[in-house]
Amino acid sequence: MARINVIQYNAAEGELKTVYDDLITKRGQLSEVLKIQSLHPSSIKSHTAFYMDIMFNKSALSRAEKEMIAVVVSVVNGCMYCQTHHGTALNNYWKDESRIEQLKSNYNHAGLSEKEVAMCHFAVHLTKYPAAHENEDYTQQLRNKGLDDPAILDVVLVTSYFNFVNRMVLSLGVQLEEHKGEGYKY
């Protein structure tokens, strides 16, 4: 149960109602992770724009690679909400639920390429030990697997974004929707 007041769709007015309607039109549904920000409607707009930019705009990484990073970061943080949503999104590309479950339990045994393993390793390390990255260049491990600067930036952006969202979900008690992440427009 949410730990702060959440304005539900049927009680939304003004800017919040407009934001909610826009989200339903564009994304197909209204997610709990966005509704948790209902007391600050402009943050929903900023959050959504940032998410769309990181996850959907043209990138050096594929959508599947981004979703893979999202799942791995969410596993490290213990965020079932994001594991579920982004595991479902990743399965739109992988089409192998057992592989998704393997990614969640041990990405080293999920049939990933060396490049994908390196991205997961980097994302996990950045999530667990962010301060270590200040004085040591862990990006070299990604370069060694063929990632260029735009790809490295994308790995860092996706990792950082999901650390942000995981912390919001976990600290504010965001609960998984009844549809468990299914039905969104990807």
The DSSP letter of residue 177 is P
Gap between the Cα atoms of 94 and 57, Å rounded: 20
Task: Provide the residue-wise pLDDT of the chain in tens; the chain has 186 residues.
Answer: 899 999 999 999 999 999 999 999 998 899 999 999 999 999 999 999 999 999 999 999 999 999 999 999 999 999 999 999 999 999 999 999 999 999 999 999 999 999 999 999 999 999 999 999 999 999 999 999 999 999 999 999 999 999 999 999 999 999 999 865 555 555
Gap between the Cα atoms of 7 and 154, Å rounded: 33
Q: Are residue 30 and residue 115 in the same domain, yes or no?
A: no
The range of the structural domain enclosing residue 110 comes to 63-172
Q: Are residue 19 and residue 91 in the same domain, yes or no?
A: no
Residue among 37, 56, 62 nearest 164 (CA): 37
Number of structural domains the chain divides into: 2
Gap between the Cα atoms of 85 and 176, Å rounded: 9
The last residue of a domain, from among 56, 77, 94:
56
What does the chain come to in residues? 186
Q: In whole angstroms, how large is the CA radius of gyration of the chain?
A: 17
